[in-house]
Structure 1
């Protein structure tokens, strides 16, 4: 795949013909959030919202990674996943 930036990678994910695994989706989510917003400074979700907690923790694990590095990793991950899901 010939994608060069975050926007192209996001557009490509919309062409996936099947859904990536939950682990792959979490990785995409956390890299996207880190690339677009930087470190996670949101409040930890409470209660029994396990999906929100998993997303929060996945993003929090990337703390300190630059937006550029996260963006590059997102693009590379989409390239890998596109061979499985397109």
Structure 2
């Protein structure tokens, strides 16, 4: 597994397990819906490739927002999507990689 793939896996664990809330508990930093959608889009691009299916109806707001976000990164390579996921997290939580909560996932 490449260094980027390993770092991506750690970044996903950090985001999915909500470790930022613990690491930055004394901060007023919060993920916006747009931030969450970006993480979702990059993750889906890495794990499934380009968006599939047709755009959901606007009345199904959540599904449509996710589809739209994923569609915006259509054509992005797996490696580029991994890198952008890691870069986005590094921008939002600069010390994430050294967070001790990730130690159990390090290989």
For the aligned pair, the TM-score class normalised by the smaller chain equals 0.7 to 0.9
Q: Give the ranges of 4+ consecutive aligned residues of structure 1 lying more than 2 Å apart after TM superposition.
A: none
Segments of 5+ residues of structure 2 without an aligned counterpart are 22-28, 100-107
Contact 2:58 2:64 in 1 (8 A): no
Give a deviation string over 1:9-50, Cα, whole Å, max 9, x none: 011112021641001011110011011111001232236111
Structure with higher RCO (Cα < 8 A, 6+ apart): 1
Q: How many residues align?
A: 84
Contact 1:5 1:72 in 2 (8 A): no
Segments of 5+ residues of structure 1 without an aligned counterpart are none
RMSD: 2.4
**1:9 maps to which residue?**
11
TM value normalised by structure 2 = 0.68
